[in-house]
Amino acid sequence: MPPENLLGPEGEGFKLAMQVFDRSRPMIGSFGVGIIQRCLDECIRYATQRQAFGRPIADFQGVGFKIAEMGMRAHAARLLTYDAAWKVSCGRRNSLEAAYAKAFAADSAMWAATEAVQVFGGYGYSEEFPVAKLMRDAKVLQIYEGTSEIQRLIMLRHLTGARGA
């Protein structure tokens, strides 16, 4: 390849690619935050209107605790994502924080979508409500830009210096 077509020094392609991921993974985290928030919003709307035994299903701890957990995970994922993005905007290294944000938001989005389907019961699989699509959207976040397992390997290496197998 001619030198004028290189994006960086020869032999430094992997390092350059990893730097790109450090910048793009907070964006994936933000997608996860959006999915969690949408699951939360949909569950609140549905669970405060749907009645069982003369009460909104949100009144039952089995449903209410799922909603509370979604709120907590949305907030935590948002803060992790903000932290990783802030470091990039300041020109600081953010590999660890980007891995935290991407993995936590993606895994929490998948958890929230699964729980949303549960809150909606049989309706969770129907096209009438958006939670089935949110589950499909959440799953892809755990896979691209580095799987959640790869993010944990990055975390391990940053925290301990271990190579991980």
One of 42, 97, 115, 145 is an active-site residue; which one?
A: 145
Classified as helix, coil or strand, 64 is helix
**What integer pLDDT is reported at residue 164 of this predicted model?**
63
Contact 6/127 with Cβ under 8 angstroms?
A: no
Q: Amino acid identity, residue 106?
A: A
pTM of the model: 0.90
Q: pLDDT in tens for each of the 165 residues of the chain?
A: 788 777 778 776 777 677 778 888 999 999 999 999 999 999 999 999 999 999 999 999 999 999 999 999 999 999 999 999 999 999 999 999 999 999 999 999 999 999 999 999 999 988 889 999 999 999 999 998 899 999 999 999 999 988 765
Measure CA 56 to chain center: 29
CATH architecture, range 16-46+54-160: Up-down Bundle (1.20)
Question: Does residue 97 carry a catalytic annotation?
Answer: no
Tokens 């949909």 belong to residue: 42
What's the pLDDT score for residue 17? 72
Q: Taking a C-beta distance cutoff of 8 angstroms, is the pair 12, 19 a contact?
A: no
**Could you give the CA distance from residue 119 to residue 88 in angstroms, rounded to a whole number?**
37
Residue 132: per-residue pLDDT: 93
SS (H, E, C) 73-114: HHHHHHHHHHHHHHHHHCCCCCHHHHHHHHHHHHHHHHHHHH
Contact of 135 with 114, CB cutoff 8 Å? yes
Enumerate the domain spans of the chain. Answer: 16-46+54-160
Q: Judge whether 96 and 111 are in contact, CB under 8 Å.
A: no
